[in-house]
Amino acid sequence: MPDTALRYLDPVAVSQLSNMELRARLIVEGFITGLHRSPYHGFSVEFAEHRPYNPGDELRHVDWKVFAKTDRFYIKQYEEETNLRHYVVLDTSPSMHYRGNAELSKLEYGAYLAAGLHNLMLKQRDATGLIAFDESVHTVRRPKATPGYLRPLLATLEQLTRSADVEGRRTSAASALDEVAERIARRSLVVVITDLFENIAAHDDLLRSLRHLRHRGHEVVVFHVLEGETERRFRFPDVPMLFRDVETGETLSVQPAQLREHYEEAVQHFSATFRRRCLENDIDFAELDTNEPYDTALLAYLNKRRRLV
C-alpha cells in the first residue's frame, strides 16, 4: 500500500526548496542554537554591543582593545543565533474544499504548501508545527525540530484533507486566530493559509486578530488562496446558475455575465484593501492561485523574502 502521507512531498518541489532558507525578517525567540537571531544577549556568535564591566564578570569577555584606548573595562555582548519556531495555521472550513477549475481544492493546495514549509523548516533545523481551524481551533501539533516529525505532520495533513464532515461548519478565522495567539507562548513565524471567506463584517475582526498575533511578537504571513478563474474573475458559463453557500446553505440564482465585471472589481478592491492594511501592520500578504503549481508559487515567495532579509 502506498504511503499516502508522502504524496505531499513531490520530489521535484523538494529539490527546488531544499536550498532555500526562510529566515524571519523580525527577531524571533528560540530555544537551541541554530540559524536565527535571538533577542537575548549571550556570549556567542555575533558581537552586539559593549556594556560596563561589573564585578564578577569573566575577564575573558573584556574588550582589551577598548581598554587600551579608554583605560576603562567594557564587556563585549553578543547576539545568539537561534532556531526559528514556525507554525502553519491552516483554514479547513467548508469553503476551502472548493476546487473550481483547478486540479486541487484550496485545502489540498494549502496542505501542499504546508508540507513544503514543514519540510523546509526541518531541513534547516527549525521547529515547525501545525494548527488547523474552522469554527474554532480543532488540531494542534506543537513545533518540533526533529527530522522524524515530518511524517506525523504529513499524516495529519492527509487526515485534514480527507475529512468529509464539513457540512454546516462555518469559518471563524478571527476567533480562531485569537485562540492561536494565546496558545503560542514563544515568538514565532506564523503562516496563515486561508481563503478569507468570512462575512464581510468580520474582516475588521480578522485584521484585529492578525494584529493580536503581531502584538504578541510573532511575524505573520497570510497566504490568501483562491481558485483564480472562478473566485477572482468569476469565469463561469454565461447561463443561469444556482450558487449555494456551503457554510450557510443559502442559494442564489444569477447570470454570471451580468455580475462578472462588478464582482471582479469588488474582489480586487477587497484584496488591495486587505493587503494595504496588512502592510500597515507589518504583516506579509501573498495572493496564491490554485491553478498555479504550488511549488512554483512557494518558491517565488521564498525568493522574494530572501531578497528582503
d(CA 156, CA 168): 22
Q: Distance between the two ends of the chain, CA-based, in angstroms? A: 43
Per CATH, domain 84-308 is 3.30.499.10: no
pLDDT in tens, 240-278: 888 887 777 788 898 888 889 999 999 999 899 999 999
Whole-number pLDDT of residue 210 = 95
| pTM (2 d.p.) | 0.79
Task: Check: CB of residue 277 under 8 Å from CB of residue 124.
Answer: no
**CA-to-CA dists, residue 93 to 107, 203, 244, angstroms:** 9, 16, 15
Angle of the 106-123 helix axis to the 294-308 helix axis, nearest 10: 50
d(CA 282, CA 89): 18
Q: Give the amino acid at 28.
A: V
The three-state secondary structure class of 78 is strand
Q: Which residue has the higher pLDDT, 155 or 43?
A: 155
d(CA 131, CA 117): 13
Q: Which residue has the higher pLDDT, 195 or 198?
A: 195
Whole-number pLDDT of residue 16 = 62
Antiparallel, parallel or unpaired: β 85-91 and 189-194: parallel
**CA-to-CA dists, residue 200 to 106, 172, 227, angstroms:** 20, 12, 19
Q: Which residue has the cell 560596563?
A: 52
Write phi, then psi, for 5 (nearest 5 degrees).
-60, -30
The three-state secondary structure class of 7 is helix
Give me 146's grid cell: 526533529
146 class by beta-carbon count within 10 Å (0-12 exposed, 13-18 middle, 19+ buried): exposed
Whole-number pLDDT of residue 304 = 74
The conformational region for residue 217 under phi > 0 = left, psi -120 to 50 = alpha, else beta, is left
Residue range(s) occupied by CATH 3.40.50.410 in the chain = 84-308
Task: Check: CB of residue 10 under 8 Å from CB of residue 295.
Answer: yes
Give me 137's grid cell: 481551533
pLDDT in tens, 69-110: 888 888 876 655 567 889 999 999 988 999 999 999 999 999
Task: Name the average pLDDT for the chain.
Answer: 82
